[in-house]
Amino acid sequence: MHALCRDCLSQIAPARRCPHCGSPRIKAHEELFSLSIAHMDCDAFYASVEKRDNPELADKPVVIGGGKRGVVSTACYVARIRGVRSAMPMFQVMKLCPDAVVIKPRMQAYAEVSRQVRAMMDELTPDVEPLSLDEAFMDLGGTQRLHGAPPAVMLARLVKRMKDEIGITGSIGLSHNKFLAKVASDLDKPRGYSVIGKAETSTFLQDKPVRLIWGIGPAAQASLEKAGIRTFADLLRWDRRDLSTRFGSTGERLWHLARGEDRRRVSANAPMKSISNETTFFEDTASTEVLDGHLWRLAEKVSDRAKAKQQAGRVVTLKLKRADHTALTRRLSLRDATQMADVIYRTARDLLDQVGNQGPYRLLGCGISDLVPETQADITGDLLDPLATQRAKAERATDSIRERFGADAIRKGRALR
């Protein structure tokens, strides 16, 4: 049996306390030093950043979210003890926890912290696959000689550094594939460190519900339940062919996951599939003028991101959510892939006009997908819209001004609506 002190990082024999520093935070596991696929998940990320930046909040229930009737995006652990959950409407938060400190998200600050964490992960391995601002997969296979320590030690060191140098905490899941690593990181949050070894994989999974699988939401759960599948044990009873007949490609995946098998690689640059932005309004709106202003700003954001990533999309999507949360999406394939805000906006605007007045809406989103490198984008002009070329030139010029003098240096009047 191997063991590791998560505070002084010494490799020790299993004990209740570390013989070197006396810490009780010991992780012991048979396969501790042979596993190399990890999932790191920051603990209540947005709330942790807020608490770090304002120490007065340390012992208060902090909730990140916003808007008149917004929902919780992150709740700190103090708030979670009181029953606050993410995606909970604000009024309910106030009922459960009247002294909650509600903070509007400061995405820029979070992105900055995320970059610092990412830099630390990049020091461990080139194979870092971020899932969002606050979580990422890492494959530390083959790095032991480079670091002079097994992956398990380097991961403990990563979360220690995150706490000491950045001031936020994270939980580690260590296993032999991505699926199990992600499951593990969630096992004893916050400041967790969980290991699922090859040997105990099947006993571990046996009585767990299938909703543990990423991508199995309420709808998939319901259809699995119809087939009598609730737990991994239920899944194991199914024949491989029957599963794929009944559930298609998901069935094939389920068959493997039931056996704790997941062959997906940790890939540093998993190809992006789409770029999109959306906004929830402070108040529901049906006004075309208001929607139009938002649509332009969203198109501009999508375009900025596409340009930064040197990508362009062939398909433009418009997304609307009505007051009763029913969603509407419309998409259109362009003949020429684009990364231009002007084209994205105009296409999305056409789609919005096609939808007609079905509002009021609470949310508007737009995005591009079917991505191609920017060299293949916006290459043919439109005979019937000769001004498009000029608008494209104007947009490029605007971009270079914004690059030099900041994003707000020049704006379209439309953006102010």
| Residue from 244, 184, 226 nearest 208 by CA | 184
CB closer to other proteins out of 278 and 336? 336
CB closer to other proteins out of 11 and 369? 369
CB closer to other proteins out of 323 and 379? 379
Rounded to an integer, what distance in angstroms lies between the CA atom of residue 197 and that of residue 174?
8
Alpha helices in 186-287 (DSSP H): 201-206, 218-226, 232-236, 240-247, 249-258
The residue annotated as part of the active site, out of 50, 135, 300, 395, is: 135
CB 194, CB 203: distance < 8 Å: no
Report the nearest approach of other proteins to the CB of residue 188 (Å): 47
| Residue from 305, 6, 265, 33 nearest 126 by CA | 265
Report the nearest approach of other proteins to the CB of residue 333 (Å): 9
Q: What are phi and psi of 330, to 5 degrees?
A: -135, 140
| Residue from 310, 289, 306 nearest 342 by CA | 306
CB closer to other proteins out of 219 and 384? 384
Q: Is 139 annotated as a binding residue?
A: no
- Exposure b/e, 198-209, CB count within 10 A at least 16 = b: eeebeebbeeee
Report the nearest approach of other proteins to the CB of residue 34 (Å): 39
Q: Is 134 annotated as a binding residue?
A: yes
Strand order in the sheet with 311-322: 274-285, 361-373, 311-322, 327-338
Report the nearest approach of other proteins to the CB of residue 191 (Å): 46
Rounded to an integer, what distance in angstroms lies between the CA atom of residue 74 and that of residue 264?
29
318 burial type by CB count under 10 A (0-12 exposed, 13-18 middle, 19+ buried): buried
CB closer to other proteins out of 199 and 379? 379
CB closer to other proteins out of 183 and 366? 366
Rounded to an integer, what distance in angstroms lies between the CA atom of residue 49 and that of residue 105?
10
Tokens matching residue 124: 């461990």
CB 334, CB 343: distance < 8 Å: yes
Report the nearest approach of other proteins to the CB of residue 350 (Å): 5
Q: Which residues bind other proteins (CB under 8 A)?
A: 332, 335-336, 347, 350, 354, 376, 378-386, 389
Q: What are phi and psi of 306, to 5 degrees?
A: -60, -45
Report the nearest approach of other proteins to the CB of residue 401 (Å): 22
Query: How does DSSP classify residue 370?
Result: E
Report the nearest approach of other proteins to the CB of residue 382 (Å): 5
Q: Please, which residues have CB within 8 angstroms of residue 322's CB and are 6 or more apart in sequence? A: 328, 358, 359, 360, 361, 362
CB closer to other proteins out of 81 and 379? 379
52 burial type by CB count under 10 A (0-12 exposed, 13-18 middle, 19+ buried): middle
Concerning whether 135 is annotated as a catalytic residue, the answer is yes
Calculate the alpha carbon distances from 182 to 6, 220, 288 in Å: 20, 19, 43
- Known binding-site positions: 41, 134
- Known binding-site positions for Mg(2+): 41, 134
Residues acting as catalytic residues? 135
